Amino acid sequence: MDRRDFLKKSVSASVGTAAGLSIEEKVLLAYADDPAKKPATAPAGDPKPFPKGKIGDVEISRVICGGNLISGYAHSRDLTYVSSVVKHYFTEEKIFETFRICEANGINTAMLKLDSDTLRITKAYWHEHGGNIQWIAQIVNPENLLQDVNLALDNGAVGVFTTGQMGDALVAQGRVDLIAKTVETVKAQGAVAGVSCHNLEVIVACEKAGIKPDFYMKTFHHHNYWSAGPKERNDSVFDESPDKTIELMKTIDKPWVAFKILAAGAISPADGFDYAVKNGADFVCVGMFDFQIEEDAAIAKGIIEKYKDRSRPWYAKVS
């Protein structure tokens, strides 16, 4: 049995019939039939309609493309090679293709780490490939906050947010003033300002200090997957207390971007999107491979429409 036959038999056996194939499985079969075949870059014509909301004056798709495809960061528990695999998979052409598929499916925004790769790739995508995807910059260096804000905005970012690790660390160090200064600097330039965190104390501290970001970005997912416990779980949990997150965010009258909603692939998109949106997230930021986008967008659209009325109000205008 050659590789092509093996792939066909393995994928077909796993689902019983082609009618039940996921997007990923269909891609595997396509490669098996023709190893040179690639996923479609983007359908012709206008983008598919997709729910959007406004943060500040910026209209943003309710699903936001994560920055893994450029940065290569991929939480993978104890699998040390996964980030390297991601970097090797996402060549510049594959990144452009992924952005095109996002746009074709109505996803108009990506959250990307501020670095030289991002600046080079976004510039090429806009000016050489005719793309329009907008980006919100993730800044990571507490020693260079204000310079990084200016660099991001000078290079076309529509907004800036402090990364989750930075938010956690600055609050733990009692340096909420640096978060405040960053938010003020971004908003003074007419851009969208965000604060990201893993620890709920970051949001509590910002609210107590009277900081007024345009959005908060907070990890959020349930624990109904096998690697969520016991406590010695090797970096497999990204929101330690989802029930506490739900209760706190009910008291916050600002847009909430939820991230890590699939717990690094341990939770299915249908399950993770439903849990996040039902419990109050206004937007979700998700790392996606090109062959996952169409299916993820369709799932998310149905779930967003399902929860137009929910217990936590939508804090970004629904369109």
Q: What is the pLDDT of residues 126-172, one digit of tens each?
A: 999 999 999 999 999 888 989 999 999 999 999 999 999 999 999 99
Token readout for 281 is 């997230």
Cα separation, 77 vs 178, whole angstroms: 31
> Higher pLDDT residue, 264 or 182?
182
Residues comprising the chain, all counted: 319
What per-residue string of b and e applies to 39-58 under the rule 16 or more CB within 10 Å gives b?
beebeeeebeebbbbebbeb
Confidence at residue 72, expressed as pLDDT on a 0 to 100 scale: 81
Digit-coded pLDDT (tens) for 72-85: 877 776 777 888 88
Rg of the Cα trace of the chain?
20
Could you tell me the end-to-end alpha-carbon distance of the chain, in angstroms, rounded to an integer?
Answer: 52
The yes-or-no verdict on residue 37 having pLDDT over 60 is no
CA angle 181, 161, 49 (to 5 degrees): 140
Average pLDDT for 220-238: 74
CA quadruple 198, 200, 203, 207: dihedral, nearest 10: -170
Determine the residue type at 277.
V
Name 34's Cβ contacts closer than 8 Å, sequence gap at least 6. none
Kindly report the average pLDDT of the chain as a whole number. 87
DSSP tag of 104: H
Digit-coded pLDDT (tens) for 56-104: 999 999 999 999 899 887 777 677 788 888 889 999 999 999 999 999 9
List phi, psi (to 5°) of 127: -90, -25
